Amino acid sequence: MTSQCPQACAAGSCTASAACSAGTVRCNSTNIEICNTSGTAWLYNQTCAVACTSGICTGPCTPSEKRCNGNVPEMCNPAGSAWVAAQSCMYECHRGDRTQNDLVIDGTTQTLEGDLKFSNNVTIRNQGQLRVGPTGVLRIRARSITVESNTTINANDLGVHTRGAGSSATSASCYSSCNGQTTTTTVSAGSSYGTVGQAGIGSAYS
């Protein structure tokens, strides 16, 4: 029977503390562990999808795919056979990219897109404008986000979602209350934003 120790293992038994160098990494099966700041315990960091070697996730990957290995951004090589490490992040690693400390848009226009993370604060002020890039996708994570009253976040003319489009026309026939005539009614929903569009109706007698 095997079990995982919460701190460390020595001579086949769990121990209350570990002796390690702060910030070093190791593999525990497919898990990556990092030595804590006091050098007394190994802390769980992440689980590798395929394998772990010398404190780094290894195994096949998709070319140009990005990931974070602890605080180090990595990109899959063109052959899809290995992860290539970049320089360690000064602040944090998020989705395979370095994060910035702060974002301040002060009286200017800045275009951003994608999934971005800032370690501290995002501030838009003095008629500054944050414009969403051509993909139409922008997600920002930060400790705080301040958008002053005289500023704008502009995502005009972007996006390709079709939830607000009108529906195709459908037909139905009426026999009982149409003055003795059979009525063919064409019904189609109008376009909308956030709610179901109202039906537009046109009739033709036969």
- Half-sphere exposure (Cβ direction) of 15: Cα atoms closer than 13 Å: 11
Q: Could you tell me if residue 177 is inside a domain?
A: yes
pLDDT digits (tens, 9 = 90+) for 11-39: 566 766 678 888 899 999 889 999 988 88
Residue 134 lies in a domain: yes
Tokens coding 63: 């070319």
Q: Does residue 150 sit within a domain?
A: yes
User: Can you tell me the mean pLDDT for 114-120?
Assistant: 85
- Minimum mean pLDDT range among 79-93, 113-127, 140-154: 79-93
46: in domain: yes
Per DSSP, which regions of 23-134 are E strands?
Answer: 25-28, 31-35, 42-47, 51-53, 56-58, 66-69, 72-76, 83-85, 93-94, 97-98, 103-106, 109-112, 114-117, 121-125, 129-132
* Residue 2, token pair as written in the block: 């095997």
Which two structure tokens, joined as six digits, stand for 116? 């971005």
Could you tell me which of 162, 152, 169 has the C-alpha nearest to residue 192?
162
Pairwise pLDDT comparison (30 vs 158), residue with the higher score: 30
Q: pLDDT tens, 88-106? A: 887 788 878 778 888 999 9
Residues 137 and 190 in one domain: no
Is the pTM here over 0.75, yes or no? no
Last residue of a domain, one of 126, 154, 182: 154
Contacts with 81 (C-beta within 8 Å, 6 or more apart), sequence order:
60, 61
Amino acid 71: pLDDT: 82
174 and 198 within one domain: yes
> Which range marks the domain in which residue 14 is found?
1-58
Contact 174, 162 (CB under 8 A): no
CA distance 20 to 39: 5
Residue 89 lies in a domain: no
Do residues 106 and 140 share a domain? Answer: yes
Identify whether 38 is part of a domain: yes
Query: pLDDT category, 3, cuts 50, 70, 90?
Result: low
The domain total for the chain is: 3
Q: In sequence order, which residues have a C-beta less than 8 Å from that of residue 155 and are 6 or more positions away?
A: 131, 132, 136, 138
Mean pLDDT of the region 168-196: 54
Residue 187 CA to residue 201 CA, distance in Å, equals 5
The answer to the question of residue 65 being in a domain is: no
Residue 95 belongs to some domain of the structure:
no
Is residue 143 within 8 Å of 166, Cβ to Cβ?
A: no
Query: Residue 62 has which token pair?
Result: 């998709």
